[in-house]
Amino acid sequence: QSALTQPASVSGSPGQSITISCTGTSSDVGSYNLVSWYQHHPGKAPKLMLYEGTKRPSGVSNRFSGSKSGNTASLTISGLQAEDEADYYCCSYAGGRGVFGGGTKLTVL
Amino acid sequence: EVQLLESGGGLVQPGGSLRLSCAASGFTFSSYAVSWVRQAPGKGLEWVSGISGSGDTTYYADSVKGRFTISRDNSKNTVYLQMNSLRAEDSAVYYCAKDSSNGVAFEFEFWGQGTLVTVSS
């Protein structure tokens, strides 16, 4: 039951765009359109940012977007803002279980 | 307003048991699946277990299968996680999370604030 693979860290300056990848296998990311992304500020509850790979819940900025190609899903944040600095996790349905990525720490320079 | 309030965490010895509760409000509880997700100190999120809205379908991560049992009481708007044979590696903040549908889709719209479980002698 391996975790999805994410880069440990990414960084960008305010106003720039960054992309976080989430690589799984044909048993999870590659087989289902059920990839979700979460923003987690330490000490707070995680927040759903995208679901079904590309859909934004009500209230989430349109600066957050998602895509998928094969076994890899991606989260793109455009127009970086200081408050985007957080940990980001992807999660995929994997046939009766859920699997998270290892998490990516986003630093806004 | 959707609210999820976890309770029941604490310090327990290896091999011991603990029952976590997640009290929900602000939505039609029986219409949504709920999962438990944990975060060990300095580690990432790990899905632990999920239960459908009706309670007739349950799922477990391999790491807890056979030791943990998830259940729900829709009359009390509460989900439980019975944790037996606890190990040091089960130490974590445990979050309960509301799914986006009746079935377990692993798309967690709302999360509680978490409850800390520490397994140590």
Q: Report chain B's terminal Cα–Cα distance, integer Å.
A: 40
Q: Tell me which chain A residues have a C-beta less than 8 angstroms from the C-beta of B37.
A: 46, 100
Which of B60, B61, B108 is closest, CB to CB, to A48? B108
| Range B50-74 average pLDDT | 96
| Structure tokens, A98 | 């859920």
Q: Cβ neighbours of residue A69 under 8 Å, at least 6 residues apart?
A: none
pLDDT > 90 fraction of chain B, expressed in percent and rounded: 94
Q: Are strands B10-12 and B115-119 parallel, antiparallel or unpaired?
A: parallel
Nearest-neighbour CA in chain B from A46: distance (Å)? 7
Band of residue B3 on the pLDDT scale cut at 50, 70, 90: very high
What contacts A61, CB < 8 A, 6 or more positions away? none
Q: C-alpha angle B111/A2/A95, rounded to 5°? A: 70
Cβ atoms of A20 and A78 within 8 Å: the answer is no
B64 and B44 in contact (C-beta within 8 Å)? no
Write out pLDDT tens, residues A32-78. 889 999 999 988 999 999 999 999 999 999 999 999 999 999 999 99
Mean pLDDT, to the nearest integer, of A76-85? 97
Residue by residue, DSSP assigns B16-44 as --EEEEEEEESS-GGGS-EEEEEE-TTS-
Predicted confidence (pLDDT) at residue B109 exceeds the cutoff of 70 = yes
Interface of A with B (CB under 8 A): 1, 3, 34, 36, 38, 40, 44-48, 51-52, 57, 87, 89, 91-93, 96-103
The count of other CB atoms within 10 Å of the CB of residue B28 is 11
**pLDDT tier for residue A1 given thresholds of 50, 70 and 90:** low
**pLDDT at residue A69 in the model:** 94
Query: Which of the residues A29, A48, A50 would you substitute to probe the B interface, choosing the one with the greatest number of B C-beta atoms within 10 Å?
Result: A48
Mutate to test the interface with A, among B58, B99, B106 (most CBs of A within 10 A): B106
Nearest to B95 among A45, A91, A101 (CB): A45
Average pLDDT over all residues of chain A: 94
Q: What is the DSSP code string of B52-91?
A: -SSSS-EEE-TTTTTTEEEEEETTTTEEEEEE-S--GGG-
Instruction: Provide the mean pLDDT of chain B.
Output: 96
Confidence of residue A89 (pLDDT cuts 50, 70, 90): very high
Contacts of B86 (CB under 8 A, 6+ apart): B12, B13, B14, B15, B16, B17, B18, B67, B117, B119
Using a CB-CB distance cutoff of 8 angstroms, which residues of chain B are in contact with residue A103? 44-45
Residues B38-49, mean pLDDT to the nearest whole number: 95
